[in-house]
Amino acid sequence: MELKQNSSQCVILLHEIYGINSHMDYYAKALYEKGFDVYVPNLLQGTTAFAYEDEELAYKNFMENIGFEKAKSKINALINDLSKEYAHIRIIGFSIGATIAWLCSNNRSVHKVIGFYGSRIRQYTDVIPNAETILIFGEQEKSFNPVDLKISLAAYPNVLINIVEAAHGFADPYSPKYNERIANDLAGYLFD
């Protein structure tokens, strides 16, 4: 999906394990309305979006058929193509998309990275971002403790970690874990 208006700045919007769904449409339109050209690559390689009820199947599909390294290569290639056209490139990712954004944060053409609940970042703490990087986690993560990750990344001067009182999925208006107040409070990170 691409939404273009000939802006000098673009956003690469990276989806969760579910694929390009209403959640991605929502953020793509919001970013477009704020003046960005928006690119939403389908990391699932033609697979249609999964329903939230199919979380285990969606996760298995991503891990077995795509994986972080393949997705990182695909996004870095997109960044390199877009760098010929845009003065400012930012990446916004959710969950696996946030981890992929983190993996691409050391690409010199990226200016800003915003990642929501990228729990697998904990496996890639050796990445040193060049871009301004904002990572946002809910304190109620079932697979890890975000405070531990915040401590391990504390030495990185251009990384800001914000831990909020919410669960994984709090920024997705179509998720049962959506927290409108917190999502609205964090919207400034997306658009400035």
Using CA atoms, how far apart are residues 43 and 47, in angstroms rounded to an integer? 9
How many domains are there within the chain?
Answer: 1
Structure tokens at 63: 């891990």
pLDDT tens-digit map of 18-77:
999 999 999 999 999 999 999 999 999 777 899 999 999 999 999 998 999 999 999 999
Q: Which domain holds residue 63?
A: 2-191
Q: In this model, does residue 137 exceed pLDDT 90? A: yes
- Sign, CA dihedral 98-166-133-9, equals positive
Contact 15, 43 (CB under 8 A): yes
Q: What is the mean pLDDT of residues 75-99?
A: 96
**CATH code at 121?**
3.40.50.1820
The rounded distance, in Å, linking the Cα atoms of 60 and 23 is: 20
Cβ 72 vs Cβ 60: under 8 Å = no
Sheet holding 132-140, edge to edge: 2-3, 37-39, 9-14, 88-94, 112-116, 132-140, 159-167
**Residues ≥6 apart with Cβ < 8 Å to 71:** 43, 96, 100
Chain centroid, CA 105 distance in Å: 11
**Count of CB atoms situated within 10 Å of the CB of 83:** 15
Residue showing tokens 């009820």: 53
Residue whose entry in the numeric block shows the structure tokens 């409070």: 185
CB 88 within 8 A of CB 10: yes
pLDDT digit string, tens, across residues 147-169: 999 999 989 989 999 999 988 88
